[in-house]
Structure 1
Amino acid sequence: MSLDWLFAPCAQPAVEQTEAARAHQLQLTKPPGSLGQLEAIAIQLASLQRTAQPSVDRVWISVFAADHGVAEEGVSAFPQAVTGEMVRNFASGGAAISVLARSLDAWLEVVNLGTVNDPGEIAGVRRAIIAPSTANFCVGAAMTEAQLDAALEVGAQSVRAAQRAAIQLFIAGEMGIANTTSATALASALLDEPPSCLAGAGTGLDAAGIQHKVAVLERALALHANANSVLEQLRCLGGFEIVALVGAYVAAAQAGIPVLVDGFISTAAALAAATIQPEVRPWLLFAHRSKEHGHARLLIALQAEPLVDLGLRLGEASGAATVVPLLRLACALHNGMATFEQAGVSNAD
């Protein structure tokens, strides 16, 4: 499978719409800048959507699920069977993201890239099985080149489906026991920082568990020290669902679809995508500051200011979904407020 598509040009934000939206904000009946990030969101969305009236009424959420061989090292507080069980829970409507998607009237796509505990064919789940799990990256590379290519393509396929549905905002989430370990390994490699500065509790590890995770990560990073390109780091240290996130982010930027990025794992994938294709970065909005330890460092690397800090660390795209109402309000204010002239209100000198 060719990866030529991964390096195709990204769409360009509309500079003229940026300036027009900024000028419009200055005419609304409020002191300039008084709505803070809500103003910035509306301006960014106007630029990305190439319209004077931005909107995020049509939202697509893809949740990618996959298992990780590094779970063999005891780096998670939950058993690996949970991944497949959660795929079923997503589809049946019982997971947090399922509830949030219903509340937002958003499309929810669940994608199974391979779980040890395979739930089989389930209505509402796209089966894109690559393998039951990645390999344990403490022993060898997490995946083959063919598996890397396939996972990137799975993410791109989700964006193409969203594009056919004329989506205005794309959100991607993940599920996979031990995937905070994989994301931390990837973040350490991308940032060239030790895992001790980035590793967190994940699904609920105590201090001893975090120390063990750091030791596992140090072994893995030493083994793959020669992985000196982003794609090779993804192949050696990533998970199928994390790689699918990378593919989705690149494909969304190429398609000109704004992306709302979730928490730690999604942001690690966003950094990988923006490193592969720097033109991806303008298409990314960042939803929240995760409680997961390494997230703040990833946000700094991406020069990203998240919209909220609610102490979330669930994943599944739940943090991003929670922020969608803020984006909708930002658009409503931009589109619906009166200008000083319309309202007959005196403007500042």
Structure 2
Amino acid sequence: MWQHLDQLTKPPRSLGRLEALAARLCAIQQTLAPVTRPRRLVVFAADHGVVAEGVSAWPAEVTGLMVANIRGGGAASNVLARTTETELRLVDVGSLADRAECAGGVMADPAVAFRDARIGPGSHNLLHEPAVRPEEFARALQIGREEARRAAEEGMAVVACGEMGIGNTTAAACLTMLLAGVPLEDAVGRGAGADEAVLERKRAVVGEAVARVRREHAAGSEQAIAALAGLEILAMAGFFLEAREAGLTIVLDGYVTTAAALIAETLAPGCAQSMLASHRSVEPGHRGALEFLQLSPFLEWELRLGEGTGALLLMPLIDAAAAICSQMRTFAELGIDSEPTG
């Protein structure tokens, strides 16, 4: 890949990180003419029982309200999907909301394909019991696999996941500690704007939950993962597993989607080889999770929204990376010696 990029009509590596993105894209697709369209973002939504422990600045009801907002086309993910010509699907795998009530009179956006695949009313409280039961674990993975299979069958070249679930950075922190060995003080961040009191409570909950699971289960076992995960996180993990098997290029978003990537890599080592890391968020544990996966992020924009927004922001850059690979001429084509003389 680099040999081809260095023969293009420019000083070697003069396009900087864009060339690194191009090389990564070529490596994933095993071609010097990578394809970036059509593409799809699938946003998975679910609630988390651990919210009852005061680990979030927002109440659980916000998950349902934001499901309605995305379904109605008014969220940041909708705007960025439209801007980057990325298809958007919304899959509810476990929100607490009553569908009619959370819609609140918002008219559904025909551009958003919605699937109600709720397994149950969110995950259980991971501080006191396993967050996900074995049958819920299997079903969540399967829903994600179904969505990736659909994407492959419908001709997608590039896919990404987003998430919506109040409390999910707590689950992500637990999984990052468990699977990537990131220490507590680095794994736990403010999520969606936690103040100092909430942050301290969140650290205590995560530390206690991970310690219990480490005592009871092997770190990489399905039982350990299920004890700390969320339904939407598991669905994303299933999505990544199937997307890898289908040969799709996967663009990661932020901390929560990277926690799902840790699960996928644990269950199927090598899965991360199909992934691009769009950005590194302000959540401190994201750095350690990406390093564990050996992925280098391309944006440092202090993002912390989720919903797949960071992945969507990378889409124009992967278009540019693919274009230089397939459309730029080489020095040989112009009859120019590519070695500079001075």
Q: Do they fold alike, i.e. is TM over 0.5?
A: yes
**1:217-228 alignment runs, 5 A limit:** 217-225=206-214, 226-228=216-218
SS of the residue 1:97 aligns to: helix
How far did residue 189 of structure 1 move? 1.1
Alpha-carbon distance in 2 for matches of 1:222, 1:54: 44
Structure 1 counterpart of 2:230, from 219, 239, 249: 239
SS at match of 1:180: helix
- Once residues 19 and 181 of structure 2 are traced to their aligned partners in structure 1, the CA distance between those partners, rounded to angstroms, is 35
Counterpart check, 1:189 vs 2:155: no
Q: 1:83 to 1:119 in 2, by over 3 A?
A: same
Answer yes or no: is 1:163 the counterpart of 2:152: yes
Amino acid aligned to 1:296 = R
The reply to whether residue 263 of structure 1 matches residue 243 of structure 2 is: no
Cα distance between partner residues in 1 of 2:213 and 2:6: 52
The residue that corresponds to 1:249 in the other structure is 240
Match of 1:213 among 190, 202, 217: 202
Counterpart contact for 1:186–1:233, Cα < 8 Å = no
Residues 203, 340 of structure 1: alpha-carbon distance in 2 compared, 3 angstrom cutoff: same
Unaligned segments of structure 1, at least 5 residues: 1-20
Which residue, 162, 168, 175 being the options, matches 1:173?
162
String of CA shifts for 1:100-141, please: whole Å, max 9, x gaps: 111111110000011112325967310111001111011111
Letter aligned with residue 166 of structure 2: I
Q: Partners in 2 of 1:118 and 1:233 — Cα distance?
A: 30
Which range is displaced more, 108-117 or 28-37? 28-37
Q: Report SS of the residue matched to 1:51.
A: coil
Q: Equivalents in 2 of 1:25, 1:188: separation in Å?
A: 38
1:286-337 Cα shifts (integer Å, max 9, x gaps): 0001011211111111121100100000000100100111110011111111
Distance 2:15 2:273 in 1: 21
- Secondary structure of residue in 2 paired with 1:224: helix
1:2-21 paired onto structure 2 within 5 Å: 21=1
Give the equivalent residue in structure 1 for 2:54. 74
Structure 2: which 5+ residue stretches go unaligned? none
1:149 matched to 2:129? The reply is no
Q: Is the 8 A contact 2:182 2:288 kept in 1?
A: no
Question: How far did 1:23 drift?
Answer: 2.9
> Match for residue 77 of structure 2?
97
Asked if the contact 1:227/1:233 (under 8 Å) is kept, the reply is: yes
TM superposition shift of 1:227: 2.5
Q: How many residues align?
A: 329
Decide whether the 8 Å contact of 2:57 with 2:194 is kept in 1.
yes
Matched, 1:88 2:68: yes
Name the counterpart of 1:7. none
Alignment match, 1:315: 306
- Alpha-carbon displacement from aligned partner over 1:254-288 (angstroms, at most 9, x marks no partner): 11101011111111111221122112121011000
Q: Secondary structure at the match of 2:93?
A: strand
Q: CA deviation at 1:150?
A: 0.3
Q: Which residue of 1 aligns with 2:326?
A: 335
- Structure 1, residues 176-230: CA drift from partner, whole Å, max 9, x if none? 0000001101111113344222100001011222111011112212332222134
One of 28, 37, 52 as aligned partner of 1:57? 37
Q: Which stretch shows the higher mean deviation, 74-83 or 228-237?
A: 228-237
* 118-127 vs 153-162, greater mean Cα deviation: 118-127
Q: Does 1:303 align with 2:283?
A: no
Of 95-104 and 192-201, deviating more is 192-201
Asked if residue 23 in structure 1 is aligned to residue 7 in structure 2, the reply is: no
Q: Which amino acid aligns with 2:167?
A: A
User: 1:22-81 CA deviation, whole Å, 9 max, x = no partner?
Assistant: 332122111222223322332332343343311212111000000000000011111101
Contact kept, 8 Å, 2:160 with 2:311, in 1: the verdict is yes
- What is the percentage of aligned positions where both structures have the same residue? 39
TM-score under structure 1 normalisation? 0.90
Task: Tell me how far apart the structure 1 counterparts of residues 211 and 329 of structure 2 sit (CA, whole Å).
Answer: 59
Quote how far apart the aligned CAs of 1:344 are. Answer: 4.1
SS of corresponding position for 2:160: strand
Letter in 2 for 1:33: R
1:108 aligned counterpart, secondary structure = strand
State the one-letter code of the partner of 2:37. Answer: D
